[in-house]
Copies of this chain bind each other. A is one copy, B any other.
């Protein structure tokens, strides 16, 4: 680890992890005069390429975290993998860590999350801790097949989730050896997400409810606001998310993924950081989720979440077979001078999130088509 060669002028925010979320946080940090520091695995990671004060170290090592935290006005995270007990130690040292361990554990441990959400009355699917296949069969006898088995810790982007239709598939899932929990399968109409921010002194702000479109468990498209959503349902979704943030004591951003079902909303997952479902806010809201997160972790007044256009659509860029994205810039920019392209400074690997595009406008079908065209062309070279 080494210090930068300059004296900070603004507040210093340390981000553990140097992926695209930390990278995109540098954009508002530049404007706010916030000096970002990241803890990276390597100097060529996404955020390390654009943040001068990059320290290479292991987020699983408490002494390295302590060294990293020295001189930071606040500590936050690019991912949810820092051991809960290390976060407690940093707070005990006197550091302002946001979100804190007591909140973050709900985004790290799905069973703890379900217990707590059930206790505060947030709508959840039927669920149970399970230790062996027999537990799952008893759960299925009560709630029916299929049963969704989830890794209690560490799953993301569809990994760590098994949709089991019978006992044989359950036994197969248990072969992984990792701790699992069971949830009833939710027959949903679509997936929604609500992004809220909460500051340490308790101010809360909610962005509009969005629709997220997944393929193979990976988010491919986000539509803001969620089209045709009943205004009472939208308000309820925002109330649920703000209540979770308040009850769990979240500081910083909280993304609440929900299912819209015939019988109402059901909470699916929580994330406590800037989230893929909020990338549209960079151009689509007066305050981007990345700026909002910085304001929240520094306990500054939160910014306006007002949208800048009637509809905003974000489409993820997933790596394809061709590693050279840049040669396809020209077509996309010439075809649509108003589409916004975001690259994450990552080498292309099939299926990897390497960037996203955003389109804004008044006509939802047109905006979706523009975002889709740019995303498909950039990743595959195909003209849609």
Copies per assembly: 2
> Is A2 part of the contact surface with B, judged by Cβ < 8 Å?
no
Smallest CB gap from A6: residue in B: B44
Complexed CA–CA distance, A303 and B343 (Å): 16
Which residues in window 1-45 of A have CB below 8 A to B? 4-7, 9-11, 23-24, 26-27, 29-33, 35, 43-44
For residue A51, CB closer than 8 A to chain B, the reply is yes
Contacting B at CB under 8 A, from A133-180, are: none
CA distance A54 to B303 in the complex (A): 32
**Cβ of B306 and Cβ of A338 under 8 Å apart?**
yes
Question: Does A119 sit within 8 A of B, measured CB to CB?
Answer: no
Which residues of the other chain, B, contact A188 by a CB distance below 8 angstroms?
none
The answer on a CB contact under 8 Å between A330 and B343 is: no
Q: Which residue of B lies closest to A205 (CB)?
A: B337
- A32, A302, A334 interface centre (most CB from chain B within 10 Å): A32
Partner of A300 from the list B10, B333, B344 (CB cut-off 8 Å) is B333
CB contact between A32 and one of B6, B35, B306, B341 (< 8 Å): that residue: B341
Task: Find A23's partner among B30, B35, B49, B329 (CB 8 Å cutoff).
Answer: B30
Whole-angstrom distance between the Cβ of A293 and the nearest chain B Cβ: 14
A273 CB-CB contact with B under 8 Å = no
Contact flag A326-B5 (CB < 8 Å), given A32-B343, A51-B52, A338-B306: no
Please indicate the chain B residues that have their CB under 8 angstroms from the CB of A214 in the complex: none
Within 8 A of B (CB), among A72-87: none
CB within 8 Å of B: which A228-252 residues: none
Is there an interface contact between B9 and A345, defined as CB atoms closer than 8 Å?
yes
A6 touches B344 (CB 8 A): no
A343 partner residues in chain B, CB cutoff 8 A: 9-10, 31-33
Interface contact A325-B355, CB-CB below 8 Å: no
**What is the CB-to-nearest-CB distance from A74 to chain B, in angstroms, rounded to a whole number?**
13
Min distance, Cβ A4 to any Cβ of chain B, angstroms: 8
Tell yes or no: A50 within 8 A of B by CB.
Answer: yes
- C-alpha spacing A343/B32, complex, angstroms: 6
A264 on the B face (CB < 8 A): no
Name A50's closest neighbour in chain B (CB-CB): B30
What is the bound-complex CA distance between A309 and B308, given in angstroms? 8
With A and B bound together, what is the CA distance between A108 and B5 in angstroms?
33
| A352 interfacial contact with B, CB 8 Å | no
A44 and B301 in contact, given A27-B30, A30-B26 (Cβ under 8 angstroms) = no
A277 within 8 A of B: no
Whether A326 and B10, one on each chain, are in contact in the complex, defined by CB atoms closer than 8 angstroms, is yes
What CA separation (Å) do A334 and B301 show in the bound complex? 5
A281 CB-CB contact with B under 8 Å? no
B337 A304 Cβ-Cβ under 8 A = yes
Q: How far is the CB of A148 from chain B (nearest CB, A)?
A: 36
Which of B29, B309, B342, B347 contacts A9, CB < 8 Å?
B347
Which residues A56-90 have CB closer than 8 A to chain B?
none
Give chain B nearest CB distance to A145 CB in angstroms: 45
CA distance A7 to B35 in the complex (A): 24
A342 close to B50 (CB less than 8 A): no
In the complex, A267 has a CB within 8 A of chain B: no
A369 within 8 A of partner (CB): no
Nearest first, the 6 closest Cβ-Cβ pairs linking A and B are A33-B343, A6-B44, A301-B334, A301-B333, A304-B338, A304-B337
* A-B residue pairs in contact (CB < 8 Å), sample of 23: A4-B49, A5-B44, A6-B48, A7-B44, A9-B346, A31-B282, A31-B340, A31-B342, A32-B343, A33-B325, A33-B326, A33-B344, A33-B345, A33-B355, A52-B52, A283-B286, A286-B360, A300-B329, A301-B333, A303-B333, A304-B337, A308-B308, A308-B309
